[in-house]
Structure 1
Amino acid sequence: MNRIGDKGQPWWSPTLTGNERFERFRVASNLDSSTDVNQVNTLVYCMGDEANDMLRGLDLMGAQRQRYDAVKLRFDRFFVPRKNVIYKWAKFNKRVQQPAEPVDAFIMALYALAENYEYSNLHDELLRDRLVVGLKDSSLSEKMQIDKDLTLAKAITMAKQLEEIKRQVRDPLSLSLSLCPWARHLTHIACWWWSEGPVAPVLGSLASVSAPQGSCGYIVVHPHQCVNVCVNG
């Protein structure tokens, strides 16, 4: 039974190579517009010598043997290996966010593992639950668990927001300056306050001391009071 298959493999192989090729042939030759009887006969012929005997053994009623979609479905069920649902969902249920794994990468991995899940009505709920229990941040996970109105979209948003906040905390000054243009001017004002503002006379007594200067040229008491992005004017 390798008339349409590649390199002697059964045409209805696990890769479905022959199956897909026949469907292309069926459309390209306008066979799909022909009668069901003609389509069934062509299908059985292309499958090879044993296909006719197999057709007799399939669980089909008399009229169904003449319907292409019914015959094709039975052959699919016979030849195509059943998916190992238990194994696939064991992998899904064991998936957790790795220590250095970004939230986006974790979410994409969960979507990939759940891609072939057959019960689409539970798809989002299962993804949501796996995301919640698989997050490496246990505090956020607990917060999500007590939210009775939690949806998949909301869980994803919360996870991404927390990751962004943590990133901001690691570099708060540079991020705040990049997000808030007016923060640059506030930084400049802080430098002016110490160099020319009300406290300048006090600093005058320290003239003999080599005081640090900010990038704007003003004297600063603490180096962190002026950053490289400090602007003049």
Structure 2
Amino acid sequence: MLIKNLRLQSKMNKEESEPFEPAMISEFPLPEIPNENRKKPTRKRQWKYWFGTFFGIFIIAIFAYFGMIYKVDNVAPQDKLAQIAGESVMKTAQLVNPSKDEKRYVSALIMGIDTRGVEFNGEEYVATKRSGTRKMDVIMQILYDRKTNKLTFISIPRDTSLPVTEECMHQEREDQKYINRIYDMAEKNNCPFSGVDAMEKYEYTEYFTNEVLRKHPYIRKEWCKNIIENPIRVEKQVIP
């Protein structure tokens, strides 16, 4: 009996001497205890956040817009045309200058005029219903090289702005500073020159292309329609 008690006492002492190893905490994650003191985002805070975001984007857009306008307004007209039409077109227009060789080159202006409400009297388009119907929707200068038999087209955007210097062509509204209004302003204000003369003699087209104009053919919509419906043979030498 004494030996049995000694063995039991020895076993108990051994168990007490061994360190206690608890289960790994990582294997049994503790549940997250909600923090009652944490403040939930209110609608007022959310409104301030979104308002600040949109306001910042709006300010950036305003600065970008006015910066672009300042950059365009400080560019020379020739550079504007180069940006719109491309560098190759400007280089071609500068190399082919009809003023240097009038016998070799022919320069002509083609204007697509809005003829709704106007009549053609053989020389000019005259308004019959209301003014402002003679805006130019298409403005192209054509350079013809008799030696190489090649045509060079220079298209001027209708909303291109330019300074109007003639007193009779006063600018009543802001939209009248565009080149597509030159023809109509000269006709409507009874200037001593016609709308075609304003584009040709007063160098409004040359202001952009740096090329002198010498011809201005009239091409009516009905003529283009007849050509499309009744194809005709076009001679090689279209310009004498």
User: Shorter chain as normaliser: what TM range?
Assistant: under 0.3
Q: Give the TM-score taking structure 2 as reference length.
A: 0.20
Q: Give the TM-score taking structure 1 as reference length.
A: 0.21
Larger Rg: 2
Higher strand proportion (structure 1 or 2): 2
Higher helix proportion (structure 1 or 2): 1
